[in-house]
Structure 1
Amino acid sequence: MKLIDNPYLIEEIITLITLVTYFISKALTVKIVRRFAKSNEVLEHRANLVIKYINLLIGMLALFTIIIAWGVKKDQILLFISSVFAVVGVASFAQWSILSNITAGIVLFFSYPFKIGDKIRIHDKDFPIEAEIEDIKAFYILLKSNEGELITFPNNLLMQKGISIVNEPIERSEFTD
Structure 2
Amino acid sequence: MYEVLSNYRYELVYTGVVFIILLIIQFLLKKAAHRVGKRSEINFTRTRLMFKYINILNILIAAFLLSIAWGLGLTQISVIFSSVFAVIGVALFAIWSILSNITSGIILFFSFPYKIGDTIRIHDKDLPIEAMIEDIKAFHLHLRTQEGELITYPNNLILQKAVSLVEHNRKNEEGKEAL
In the alignment, is the contact (CA less than 8 A) between 2:30 and 2:54 conserved in 1?
Answer: no
> 5+ unaligned residues in a row in structure 2: which ranges?
169-179
Larger radius of gyration: 1
| 1:9 to partner: Cα distance | 4.3
TM-score, normalised to structure 2, is: 0.82
| 1:7 to partner: Cα distance | 5.4
Aligned match of 2:158:
158
More displaced 10-residue stretch of structure 1: 113-122 or 39-48:
39-48
Aligned match of 1:112:
112
Identity over aligned residues, as a percent?
53
Q: Would you identify which runs of 4 or more consecutive aligned residues in structure 1 move more than 6 Å?
A: none
In the alignment, is the contact (CA less than 8 A) between 2:134 and 2:144 conserved in 1?
Answer: yes
How is 1:24-63 mapped onto 2 (pairs within 5 angstroms)? 24-63=24-63
CA distance in 2, matches of 1:93, 1:32: 31
Aligned match of 1:95:
95
Aligned match of 1:135:
135
Aligned match of 1:20:
20
| 1:29 to partner: Cα distance | 2.1
More displaced 10-residue stretch of structure 1: 43-52 or 83-92:
83-92
CA distance in 2, matches of 1:150, 1:80: 44
TM-score, normalised to structure 1, is: 0.83
More displaced 10-residue stretch of structure 1: 64-73 or 132-141:
64-73
Q: What is the aligned residue count?
A: 164
> 5+ unaligned residues in a row in structure 1: which ranges?
169-177
Amino acid of the structure 1 residue aligned with 2:119: K
CA distance in 2, matches of 1:160, 1:142: 17
How is 1:67-106 mapped onto 2 (pairs within 5 angstroms)? 67-106=67-106
Say whether residues 1:148 and 2:164 are aligned partners.
no
For 1:92, what is the secondary structure of its paired residue? Answer: helix
Aligned match of 1:122:
122
For 1:134, what is the secondary structure of its paired residue? Answer: strand
More displaced 10-residue stretch of structure 1: 120-129 or 45-54:
120-129
What is the CA RMSD across the aligned residues, in angstroms?
A: 2.0
